[in-house]
Structure 1
Amino acid sequence: MTSSWIRRGLWVVGIAAVAAALMVAALPYVASNRIVRDRIAWEMSRWTGYRVTISGSPQVEVWPQLSAVLTEVSMSRWSDPERTPVIYAERVEVGLAAMAALRGEVSFSSTRLVRPTVRVERTASGLYLPSLPESGSIGYSIELARGMVRSGAVEPDPKLVPGGALGNIEIRDGRIVTAINGKDSEVLSGVSAKANWPAPGAAASFSASAIWRGENVTVEAATQKPLALAAGSSAPISFSVKSAPANLSFEGKAGLAANPFIDGDVKFQSPSIRRVMEWTGMRMASATTIAAMSVSSHVSGDAERVKLDNTQITLGKNPGTGVLDLAFGEHGRPTLSGTLAFETLDLGPFVSAFTPLAAPASPGADDIDATLAGFINLDLRLSAAKATAGPIPLNSLAATAQVRDGLSVFDVSDASAFGGNIQTGIRFDRTPGGTQAEMRLLASDINGAAFGEAVGMTRLMPTGKGNISVILKGPGKGWNSIMENADGSISATFGPGSLSGLDLAAFVKRNAEGGFFPLDEVANGSVPIDGAEFKANVAKGVVRIEKAQANHGNSRLWLTGIMPYAGRGLALTGGISSQQPPPASNGENGEAPASPTNQTWFFVGGSWSAPFISPISGSSPN
C-alpha cells in the first residue's frame, strides 16, 4: 500500500515537472508570436494614446523573468500625418506576466525606456511640454475621474476607474529636445527617471535626475492620492528640486484641475541668486553682486495668485519677515508685492537685482538692461532698523522697490543718517527710444564731516551741519554714459564748522611764490568757517559751478568754473579775499575811509583726484 502511494506520487511530480518544462519551453514561442508581434504595440498605444511603431525585431527573454525587448520604438500622435515621434527610444524593455502571456493576454509589470528622446514644445504658459495624445486609456481614466469630481464627488472612486497600466516606468540615459529654427536643441540630457503607480487607488512616486545647462538637477515627488490629484481634488503632495545653484521643496496639498491650487509650506535656498539668474538665462551685468538667499513660507493660492504668509527671508546675512503676494498675469510676467521688515539690511545686493548699483568704475557696469526688470514686476515696501547703502549707514529705514513695464524705481522715503535725515531715489525707465535714468538725494541737517568721510569727500568738505540736494537725469545704457549726458542741479549749504584738507596760510604763501603746485602740498590743515554755500548746474555731464563760497569773519574763499564728468578734469578759477580793519578817522569829516582788501587769485586744473594750483597775478580775473 505504501509503495503504491509512493509510485503514484512520483508520477504526479514527474508529470508536473514535464508540464512546467513544456510551459517554459512554450513561453518564448507563445510570447513572440501571439504578444510581441500582435499585441504589445497595440497595448502600449491603447494606454498611452500615441501611435506606437516598433521598427526593430522583438526579442523575448524568459530568465530571470518573462520580458520583451523592443528596439527602435516610436510614439507619435495619430493626427500627425508626418508621424513625427513625440517619444523615440532606441530600446524598450517590457516586463510581462507569464500566465497572462500563455492566455494570449498582455499584462505589463514594468516598462523601461533606454536612451529615449522626448520632443517638447513651448506652450502658451511658457512651459515646455510634449504634444499630448488625443486619446488613450490613461487620459480616459483621468477624464473619468475628473467627471466624478465635477459631478459633486469629493474625490474620484478608484474602484470605478479601469485598472492595469504600463507598470513601473523607468527611463535610462534619456534626453529632451525642442525645435529651434528648424533644428533640434537639447533641453535636458542624461535623464534618468522612475515612476511608480501600481493601481488607480495606490500611492504614486516619481524621481528623476538630469543635466540642465551644465548643472545636475534631481527631482522627487510623491502623493498618497495621485488619482484625486489628477482629477482636481485636493490631495497631499510633496516634491523637491535640488541642484548646486538652488534647492526648492514643497510639502502640503494641491489640485490639478482647470484652476490648479496649492496649500502648504515651501522652502527655497540658494548660495547666490546671481548664479541662479545666470543659470536660468537671466543675463546680469557682470559687476552686479547679489547675495545668497533663503526663503521659507506658507503658500496658498491658484494659477493666478499665490499668497506667502509668515515669510522668513534671509538676504546674505540679513534676516527678515513679511507677507508677500505673487500674481501671474500679463505676458506671463509674475508680479511680486508685499512688505518685508529687517533688523539689518544691505541695500546694495538687494537693489542690484533690478537696478545697476555697481560703482561706475566697476568692470561691466555699463549695461543696466541686464537686470530683473525684464523678468518680474515688483512692488515691495521695505523697512529696517539698520541698513547700509554702500559706505552710508542708515537707521530707521523706510523704502519701496518697484519694477513694472521696463520702469525700475527704488526710493528711500525716510532714513536717519549722519545725525540728520536722508531721502534718496533711483529711477530707470526703459523706453523704445532708450533708457532714461534719474537720481536724487536730499539730505537735511546732516553732519558734513561724517557725510564726507562716508562718501570719500574729505578734501574741502565743510564739517558743520548742512543740507545737500542732488538731482540728475539723463539717457544712457550704463552709469558712465548716463553721467556723461546728465542734466540737473547740485546745491548745498552748511553752517559753522571748518573746511578740511586745506592749510590756508601755506596755500597763500605757496601761491604768492608762483609756479604750479599740487593741492596735496598744502592739504595738511583746516580752515574755520562761519558757513559755506554751493550751487551748480549740470548740463550734458558738465558741472558748471555758479557759486562755491566759504566765509569766515572778513575772509571769503570762492570758486567758479567747470568740472566735466568725462575725463574728470578741472577748469576752475578761485580767489581768497581778506578785508583789513579800517584805519582811524582823519578828523576832517568824521568818516573812515574804505577798508583795504587783500586778494589772492588762482587757477585750479588737473583732475578730480589730483588737482593742481596755478597762481594768477594782477587784479581780478573777471
Structure 2
Amino acid sequence: MKTPKKPQGRKSRRVPSRWLHILARTATILLLCFLLIFVALRVAAPYVVSTRMVRTGIENALSEWTGYRAQISGHSELEFWPTPRITIHQIAIRNKQDGNRLLGTIDTLSAEFSIVDAILGHAKFHEFHLLRPSLSLHRDKSGLIDWTNQGLLSNAIGKAHLQNGSQVLEREFDASVGRITVEDGTFALLDITSGRVFHFESVSADIDWRRLSRKMDAVLIARSNGQDFKVNFSSAAPLLLFAGKNADMNLSISSALLTSSYRGTANILSLTGMDGHVSISIPDLPALSAWADRTLPGVATLKSFSLEGDVQAFDHGLRFDSAALKMNDASATGAMDISFRPDRQPRLGGTLAFDLMNLRPLLDAFTLRLGAGEAEGPSEGGLLQKLDIDLRLSAKQAQLDVFNLQEVAASVIVSRSEAKLEIGDARFEGGDLIAHLDVTHGDFDGGGKLQINIRNTDLAAVMDRLHPQGPIPLGRGSIDIDVQTSKAIWLARPEDLSGTVDLEVKNGTLPGIDVDAIRSEAAAKTRFFPLNTAASRAFAFDTLAIKATIKDGAAELDNAQIIGPSQTMSLSGLIPYASSGLALTGSLTATDSAKASEFPPLPFFIGGSWPKPVMSPAPANEASNKG
C-alpha cells in the first residue's frame, strides 16, 4: 500500500515562516542589547564622566571654535537624561593678541555631548543654548568683523571654496555644529572707519547649522534704539559669504520702520557680487530718519518710499532692471543704475516713468542734496552729500502743491560741477510749461537761477487753485519768469530774488477794477477812496502786458498796459511785495485817440497795502502834496 505524498505547496509555506521567526528573535535580542547598553551608559555615566572633564572639554571647545581664550568662572552642572547635557555659568572670551581685550561674556551656556566620546576623553558638543550673552566686536576698514580668530570656524572659512557652483570643504576642516539658540543677548559693534557704535539689545536667535559644510538657516530678533527688528537669513554656502566671496543668500529684515528682502548672489564685503531680486519698503521715512539720528530737513513731504526690482552688479556699480519705485502715492517703473568709480563720487542715474508723480518730494530731495554739507546747509549730509544724480523722468500726470501737470518730461542732474532741474515739456492748465533751475557751479550755496515759461495757459484756472486776494487778471495768457538769487536756494526767500517777470494776457478781465466807477469817483472830486469801492464790475480788456523788474523784495513796473475796447489803463511804479505795499502811478486814457473827448486822460495814484489799496484819481504829485 503506497503512502500518499504531502503537497509541495504546504512545505514551501513553512520555510518563510521559520525564517521570519528567526529574524524577529534576532531583532528583539539586538534591540534589548541596545537598550541595555543605553541604560547602562546612562546609569554609569555619572560615575565615569566627571564634571571637570566635560567642563574642561567645553572650555577648550569654545577656544578652538572662536580662536580666542575662553574662561569659565562659574559652576557647572551635568545632566544625563533624557540626553547628556552640560550647563556652565559665567564664561568670558578674551582676545589675547589685543591686550587680552574682553570680546564677550555669557551668563549661561548649555550643550549636548556624546557619552562615549566623553568616556574616551574627547567630548564633542552640539545643540548649544546661550543665555544672556554679551558681545563687543570691531568691524575693520575692509568690512570684516573680529568674531573669529584662527579657530575651527576661521579655518573652515579660509578653506571653503566654490566647485561646480557649490560650497566645498575638505573633511578635515568640517565639523558638526547643530542648533544654536540665543536668549536675551546684547551686541555692540564698533565700526573702525566711521567710529560709530551700533547697539542691539534683547537679542534672540535660532540658528540651524548641522555641519560647517552644510546650509545655514538663522532667525534673529533684536532691539536697537527702541525699535524691534527681525532678520531671516539662509545660505547654502555660508562659509563663502563669511569669507567675503560671492554666494547665494536669502535675507529679509522686517520692522515697523523698514521691510526689505534680497534673494540671489551676494557679497557681504561689497556690492560687486550682487545678482538677484531686492525689495525695500519704508512706510515712514521721517520716523526712520529720526530713529537713525539722521535729520532730513526740507523733506517733510516725502513720507514713504519703496523700491523693488532685479539688481545686478557691473564694473564699478549696480543696475536695477524692471524697477518699481514708489514715493508717497507716486509709482514709477523703469531702470536705474548707481556707479562707484574710484576717481568720482557715486552716481545715481536712470529713466523712470510715472503714471502719477508728486513733484514736491522731488524738489525737496533736490534741495536737500544741494544743501548737504554746504555752508549754512543741513549739518548732516550723509549719503546725499556724496551722491551725484542723473535721472530722466516722465509722467502722465504730475502734482506740484495745488497744481496739476500732464505729459511731463523732466530731468535732474547734480554733480560736483553742476546742478540742474528741468521740466523740458509739460501741459499746464490747457497750455504749455517749461521750467529750468540752474544752481551756481562750485559751491551750491552760492545761489542759482530759475526760468519758467508758460504759454497760453488758463489763468482763471490757476487763480482758482491759488485763491489770491485783490484784482488779478483772468484769461488765457503767457508768463515768463527769469530770476536769480545769490543765496543758497534752500534758504532763499521771495525778497532775495532779482530778475524779470513778464505777463501777457489776451481777451481777459480784471475783476475788482471798474473803470467807469473810477471816473465817477473822480468826477465827484473824491480825493482818496478804497479801490474795492470801485469794484462792482470787471475791466474787460483785449490785451494785458506787464513787465516787472524784481529786486530787494519789490517789483518795479516799467510800463504796464491794460488795453480795453474803449479805455486803456497804464501803470508804473513799485510793488514792495515783501511788505504787501503799493506805490503806483497810472492813467486812464481812450484806446482810440478819436474818442479822447469821451474818455479824457485821468491820472491817478494807488498806494497803501495789498489787497485793500487806496486810490486817488489825481496826479501823483498833487495827491502827495494834499495828503
TM-score using structure 2 length: 0.81
Give the letter for the 2:398 counterpart.
A
1:26 aligns with 2:38: no
Post-superposition Cα deviations, 1:229-269, rounded to whole Å, max 9, x if no partner, equal 55677644321111112211122334568875122222222
Contact 2:140/2:191 (8 A) holds in 1:
no
Task: Give the RMSD, CA atoms, in angstroms.
Answer: 4.0
1:344 is aligned, of 347, 356, 366, to 356
- Paired residue for 1:104, among 106, 111, 121? 121
Letter in 2 for 1:485: D
What are the residue-to-residue correspondences of 1:438-477 with 2, within 5 Å?
A: 438-457=449-468, 459-476=470-487
C-alpha distance in structure 2 between counterparts of 1:478 and 1:224, whole Å: 51
Cα deviations across residues 259-299 of structure 1 (Å, max 9, x unaligned)? 75122222222323343334334312367211433332111
| 1:44-66 per-position Cα deviation (integer Å, ceiling 9, x unaligned) | 12111222233334443444543
Alpha-carbon spacing, 1:319–1:217, altered in 2? closer, same or farther (3 Å): same
SS in 1 for 2:367: coil
Q: Which residue of 2 aligns with 1:250?
A: 262
The match for 1:56 is 74
**Partner of 1:80 in structure 2?**
98
Paired positions, count? 585
The structure-2 alpha-carbon separation of the partners of 1:543 and 1:26, relative to structure 1 and needing over 3 Å to count, comes to farther
CA contact (8 A) 1:322 1:339 kept: yes
Distance between the aligned counterparts of 2:438 and 2:272, measured in 1?
37
| CA shift for structure 1 position 211 | 1.5
Out of 195, 198, 211, the position equivalent to 1:199 is 211
Whether 2:150 is the aligned partner of 1:135: answer yes
- Structure 1 position 406, deviation (Å): 9.7
In 2, the alpha carbon distance for the partners of 1:464 and 1:554 equals 18
Contact preservation (8 Å) 2:85, 2:110: yes
CA distance in 2 between partners of 1:604 and 1:202 (Å): 86
CA shift for structure 1 position 457: 4.6
Q: Which residue of 2 aligns with 1:486?
A: 497
- What are the Cα deviations for residues 377-434 of structure 1, in whole angstroms up to 9, with x where unaligned? 3221101122222222212110012344597542211112133221113455697694
Partners in 1 of 2:120 and 2:603 — Cα distance? 115
Percent identical residues: 22
Q: CA 1:17/1:462 → structure 2, altered by over 3 Å: closer, same or farther?
A: closer
Indicate if the aligned counterparts of 1:97 and 1:108 stay in contact, CA closer than 8 A. Answer: yes
The reply to whether residue 534 of structure 1 matches residue 552 of structure 2 is no
- AA in 2 matched with 1:615: S
2:613 pairs with 1:615: no
Matched, 1:70 2:88: yes
Alpha-carbon deviation of 1:78? 3.2
Match of 1:599 among 590, 598, 602: 602
Partner of 2:447, secondary structure, is strand
Q: Structure 2: give runs of 5+ residues left out of the alignment.
A: 1-29, 370-375
TM-score (norm 1): 0.81
After TM superposition, give the deviation of residue 557 of structure 1 in Å.
1.9
The aligned amino acid for 1:613 is: V
Letter paired with 2:179: N
Equivalent in 397, 404, 410 of residue 399 of structure 1: 410
Given that 2:272 and 2:316 are in contact with CA atoms closer than 8 Å, whether structure 1 keeps it comes out as no
Tell which deviates more after alignment, 515-524 or 335-344. Answer: 515-524
State whether residues 208 and 218 of structure 1, in contact with CA within 8 Å, keep that contact through their aligned partners in structure 2.
yes
Query: Mapping of 1:363-442 within 5 angstroms?
Result: 373-374=384-385, 376-405=387-416, 409-427=420-438, 434=445, 436-442=447-453
In structure 2, relative to structure 1, the CA distance for the partners of 1:407 and 1:108 (3 Å cut) is farther
Q: Tell me the distance in 2 between the aligned counterparts of 1:601 and 1:41.
A: 100
CA shift in 2, pair 1:55/1:467, >3 Å: same
Equivalent-residue separation in structure 2 for 1:433 and 1:290 (angstroms): 22
Q: 1:31 to 1:423 in 2, by over 3 A?
A: farther
State the AA in 1 paired with 2:614. Answer: I
Separation in 2, partners of 1:176, 1:466: 65
Distance in 1 (CA, whole Å) between partners of 2:172 and 2:235 is 18
Give structure 1 stretches of 5+ with no counterpart: 1-8, 358-365, 585-592
The answer (yes or no) to whether the contact 2:200–2:224 under 8 Å persists in 1 is yes
Contact 2:74 / 2:90 at 8 angstroms: preserved in 1?
Answer: yes
Letter in 1 for 2:151: G
Aligned partners of 1:428 and 1:553: how far apart in 2?
44
